[in-house]
Amino acid sequence: MKSVQTNIHILAAALAIGGSLGFAMVAQEAQARDRDNDDRDEVEVVGPVESLKGTCPDLSFTVKGETIITDEQTEFDDGTCDSIRNGDRVEIEGRIEDGRLVADEVDLE
């Protein structure tokens, strides 16, 4: 009887370890796939600037209903942060954070 209980404990320990290792391997694979698809989080919006607020480098405005924010890391092409005006046509590349598009790059067209 004692050997049966010992075998059950060994089997339970093996399943627990194997299950944990299997879960860890699945989690590592998911992380690797996520790193491979980093650009899926990138967003691009093109259109006129509306509802411009703030001071450089921290601007907030909308393009086609999408709230855009800029910060000290935003790069500006064909203009500067100070040159953006309501009605300017822009191309924004960035990522969504807290429901807003944080602009990595603003191209004034």
- What is the tens place of the pLDDT at every residue in 77-96? 999 999 999 999 999 999 99
Percent of the residues in the chain that have a pLDDT greater than 90, as a whole number: 57
Contact at 8 Å (CB) between 62 and 68? yes
pLDDT classification of 37: cutoffs 50, 70, 90: very low
pLDDT surpassing 70 at residue 48: yes
Phi-psi group of 61: left, alpha or beta (phi > 0 → left; psi -120 to 50 → alpha; rest → beta): beta
Contact at 8 Å (CB) between 70 and 103? yes
**CB under 8 Å to 91, separation ≥6 — which residues?**
44, 45, 46, 106, 107, 109
pLDDT of 40: 54
pLDDT of 64: 94
pLDDT of 100: 87
Residue with token string 């944990």: 20
DSSP tag of 23: H
